[in-house]
Amino acid sequence: MAYDPSNIFARILRGEIPCRKVFENAHALAFRDVNPQSPVHILVIPKGEYVSLDDFSATASPDEIVDLIRAVGEVARAQGVAASGYRILANSGADSRQEVPHLHIHIFGGKKLGRMLPKD
Ligand code: AMP
């Protein structure tokens, strides 16, 4: 799938719409999900134009990959869920019901998270 620069996270990265930023490094931005599913629900995104983990894992530079993964760890520690536990999730493609076509890693925490996948 070609990258669509009008997607909502691209607009956040360009500063066209606001976000509740919690962390940023050279290649990644983290902000609160607008519709949180747990007490801690943060999205970590690369600043580069990647639709999903599929193309990011295949084509991102080592620096971009390091910064994205480091950002996840930094955010989890800063949000106080590293010790209690948390879950990361990155929907990729239609079967996963990915809604926004810019790679984003969800960080969920702050409560017992239940089953890894719903039954349906
Ligand atoms: P996914 O289904 O994995 O593509 O998740 C997309 C996520 O983006 C959902 O959890 C939405 O609540 C979240 N979201 C959509 N628009 C915004 C926004 N403007 N700021 C923060 N989170 C958003």
pLDDT tens track for 1-46? 899 999 999 999 999 999 999 999 999 999 999 999 999 999 999 9
Q: Please identify which of the residues 27, 41, 102, 104 carries the catalytic annotation.
A: 104
pTM for the whole structure: 0.97
Q: Which residues line ligand 1 (CB under 6 A)?
A: 8, 19, 33-35, 43, 91, 97-100
pLDDT at 119: 77
Q: What is the pLDDT of residues 61-105, one digit of tens each?
A: 999 999 999 999 999 999 999 999 999 999 999 999 999 999 999
Q: What pLDDT was estimated at residue 60?
A: 98
pLDDT at 43: 98
Secondary structure string (H, E, C) spanning the chain: CCCCCCCHHHHHHCCCCCCCEEEECCCEEEEECCCCCCCEEEEEEECCCCCCHHHHHHHCCHHHHHHHHHHHHHHHHHCCCCCCCEEEECCCCHHHCCCCCCCCEEEEECCCCCCCCCCC
Q: For atom 20 of ligand 1, which residue has the closest CA?
A: 34
Instruction: Please identify, by atom number, the ligand 1 atom nearest to the C-alpha of residue 98.
Output: 4
120 band by pLDDT with thresholds 50, 70 and 90? low
Q: What pLDDT shows up at residue 11?
A: 98
